[in-house]
Structure 1
Amino acid sequence: MAVKGGYWPSWVSDFRGIDSGLFTHVYYAFVVPDHTFKLDLSGSRLGDFISAVRPAKAILLVGGEHADPKRFSDMFPQDHDVENLGYLLHEWRAAVQREATVTGRIPLLLTAAVPFSANSNGSFPVDSMKQKLDWINAMCYNYRGSWDNFTGAHAALFDPINNSEYTTDMGLRSWIRAGIPPSKLVMGLPLYGRTWTLENPGSPGIGAAARGIGPGDGGTMTYAEIVRFNRQHHASEIYDQDTVSAYSYAGTAWIGYDNVRSTTTKIQYAQRLGLRGYFFWQIAGDHEGTISRAGEKSLMFSQSDRSVIL
C-alpha cells in the first residue's frame, strides 16, 4: 500500500480536525516510555483516536524529541545508539510476529522516523532497517532556521545556487545509495514554516541577511498561522522554483514554508523517484486541510521499484 500519511500531535485532543479520507495512515505523536520503559496509555484517548481516523490505519509513535529517557527517540543520536538500533528493530520485529501468531491478526506495522539523510548521524544499520521495518519516514525539513544569519528554505527540495547537501533530494538519494529501496522510503513534508527578521526589508529573497527569529513561537509558524499572517499583514508571497518552496514577507518579517504548489511538486518528484509515499508533520497545523487535500489529489503511487539515477 502506498503511504499518504499525517502525524497528529498528542497535545491536540480534538480529533474532529482529522479528515481521515485524505490519508492512508495517521500517526499518533507521541506516547513516551516511563523510567521502567513501559508505555502509559491511560491519558492518550487512543480508542477515540483510532475511531476518528478510520478508514485510515492508526499508527502509535513511541518517543518523540523530548522523550526521557531518550532510548527510543533521539534527534541527534551517538554512533553507539545508531548501532544499537539494529538490535532494537530485531527485537521489535520478533515481538510483532509473536503478537500476530498469538492473536491470529495481521502483523502490526513497524516503521521508524529517521533524519533526512543517511549521512546525518553515523552509520545506520541499513540491512536491519531494510529487513525489519515496513518503511522509514525521512524527516525532510529543518535544514535552515534562526541559527542562520540569513533567510532560507528549511525544506528545500534542491539548492542549485549554493549546491548545499541540506536538501530533500540529496537526503533521499543518500538513503537509496545506502541500500534502502525506494519502495520503503517515505518523504516528510512540513506543515509549518520558519521565520526570520530581515536586516533590510528591501532585500527579501532567500539568502537575505537576517537578525534572529521573526514572528511565531520560537521562530516557527504552522501553515494555518502563516495563511492568517499573510492575510492580516498583506504579505507578499513568492514561489521559488530553485528550491521548490514558498516564502512571504511583510516589513521585516520573513517566513519560509511549503504551499500547495511546492507540496504538489515535491510529491510528483517522490513519484518519479519511486518512493513509497509521503507524510505531513503535523496535520493539525494545516489550514482547513488545504495542503493535505492537495497531497491526496496527487497521482497514485506505484508499489513497484523504479530505476533511480543517483
Structure 2
Amino acid sequence: MRETFDEETLKEGQSRLLLTIATAPGKDNIDTSYNMTEISKYVDFFNVMAYDYAGTWSTIAAYGSPLYSRLSNPQFSQANSQNWTMNYYIAQGAPKEKLVMGIRGAGASFTLKDPSVHDVGAPLIVGGGKKGSVRKLQGHLAYYEICSDIIAKDATTVWDDEQKSNYAFLDDQWVGYDDPRSVVEKVNFAGNLGLGGVMFWAFDYDDFTGTVCDNGSYPLLTAMKNAALKYTPEEPSTSTVEVTVAPTPSVITQRPSINDGTFKLYEVNDHGVVHSFSSLITLLCLCMILCLIH
C-alpha cells in the first residue's frame, strides 16, 4: 500500500497520500501486535488509541483514559495510563514525531457497590453504569451526557491531581472523565514528550451544541486547539515513566516525515477520517486510517 501510494505522487497533479494506522494501548496488545521499527518505515503516523483502560469489565472505579498511572494504589496497573503507553511505544522503537496521542471525549461510568464508598478504587458492580440519556450505551457516557445526566443533577465532582483527571458521583453512579482542564494537561504532556500531536475521538462526544456543559460549543476540542496553539516547550515531566525494554534497531527509511516541527491536533470521526489543524489552523489533510484493534 505504501508503494502504491508513493507511485501516485509520480503522476501529474497528484499529491502525496498519507498512510496512517490506529493502534491500541496495553502491553500485551503492543507486544503481540506491532513491530514498531518495521511499521515505522511505512506509516506517516500512529494514531494511538490511548483510552479504554477501564470499562464495563472493571471491578474497581478507575478512569477510562488517565494521563498518569495511579502509583499510590497497588490495586492499579502501572501500565494503565497514557503516560506509560506513549513511553512504551517510544521504547519499542516508534519515532516520537510519528506518534499521535488519542484523547477521548467520553467517560467510563460505573455502578458503585456501596454509594458511601466513592473514591477512585471503590468496589463496583461489574457491568458499567446506567445507560446515557441520549446514546443509550451502558458504562459509556459522552461528555454532554456526563454534564446532563450526572453533573447537572447536583453530583459531587472531584479533580484528581495524581492522574490529572476528573470523576463525579451521584448516588450509586460514578464516572471518570476529561474536561477542558484535563485536556490541556494532556496536550502539554504530549508536547513536552516530543510527540507529533494529539487526536480526538470523536466530534459527536463533545458538547457540540454548546447548550449542556456551559462552556460553549465543542469545549473539549476548543481546549485542545487553544492549548496546542499556545504550547511552548517545557522541561519534561519528572513523573514520566521509565520503561525498560530490550534494545531495538534504529529505523532506517528514506521516506520523508510529514512532521514540519509544529505541534498538531487531529480529530478522527466515526468514519475513520482524520482532520488535522496546524498552528495556523489550516486544514492539513484527509487521511486513511487502518484500524488494527487487537
Residues 135-157 of structure 1: CA distance to partner in whole angstroms, max 9, x if unpaired? 10111110111212111011112
State the secondary structure of the residue aligned to 1:133.
coil
TM, length-normalised to structure 1: 0.65
Q: Does 1:112 align with 2:21?
A: yes
**1:177 partner amino acid:** A
Identify the match of residue 177 of structure 1 among 91, 115, 121.
91
Whole-Å Cα distance in 1 between the matches of residues 178 and 115 of structure 2? 21
Contact 2:61 2:124 in 1 (8 A): yes
**1:243 partner amino acid:** Q
Q: Once the 2 structures are TM-superposed, how far is the Cα of residue 125 of structure 1 from its aligned partner?
A: 2.2
Q: Once the 2 structures are TM-superposed, how far is the Cα of residue 307 of structure 1 from its aligned partner?
A: 8.4
Partner of 2:222: 293
Q: Once the 2 structures are TM-superposed, how far is the Cα of residue 181 of structure 1 from its aligned partner?
A: 1.3
Partner of 2:130: 215
Q: Once the 2 structures are TM-superposed, how far is the Cα of residue 118 of structure 1 from its aligned partner?
A: 6.0
Q: Once the 2 structures are TM-superposed, how far is the Cα of residue 299 of structure 1 from its aligned partner?
A: 3.8
State the secondary structure of the residue aligned to 1:170.
helix
Identify the match of residue 234 of structure 1 among 150, 154, 157.
154
Partner of 1:266: 186
Which stretch of structure 1 is more off in the superposition, 212-221 or 166-175?
212-221
Q: How many residues align?
A: 217
**2:113 partner amino acid:** E
Whole-Å Cα distance in 2 between the matches of residues 185 and 301 of structure 1? 20
Larger fraction in helix: 1
Instruction: Say if 1:175 and 1:256 are closer, same or farther in 2 by CA, change over 3 A.
Output: same
Contact 2:166 2:176 in 1 (8 A): yes
Residues 240-264 of structure 1: CA distance to partner in whole angstroms, max 9, x if unpaired? 1111111111100111111111111
Whole-Å Cα distance in 1 between the matches of residues 54 and 154 of structure 2? 25
Q: Does 1:195 align with 2:109?
A: yes
Contact 1:117 1:174 in 2 (8 A): no
Residues 191-239 of structure 1: CA distance to partner in whole angstroms, max 9, x if unpaired? 0011111111111111001113212212101011111113442111111
Partner of 2:40: 130
State the secondary structure of the residue aligned to 1:172.
helix
Give the unaligned 5+ runs of structure 1.
1-91
Identify the match of residue 156 of structure 1 among 49, 52, 66.
66
Alignment of 1:55-70 (within 5 A): none
Q: Once the 2 structures are TM-superposed, how far is the Cα of residue 301 of structure 1 from its aligned partner?
A: 8.7
**2:129 partner amino acid:** G
Contact 2:27 2:79 in 1 (8 A): no
Residues 83-112 of structure 1: CA distance to partner in whole angstroms, max 9, x if unpaired? xxxxxxxxx111111222224322111110
Partner of 2:174: 254
State the secondary structure of the residue aligned to 2:90.
helix
- Considering only aligned residues, what root-mean-square deviation do their CA atoms show, in Å? 2.2
TM, length-normalised to structure 2: 0.69
**2:108 partner amino acid:** R
Instruction: Say if 1:116 and 1:300 are closer, same or farther in 2 by CA, change over 3 A.
Output: farther
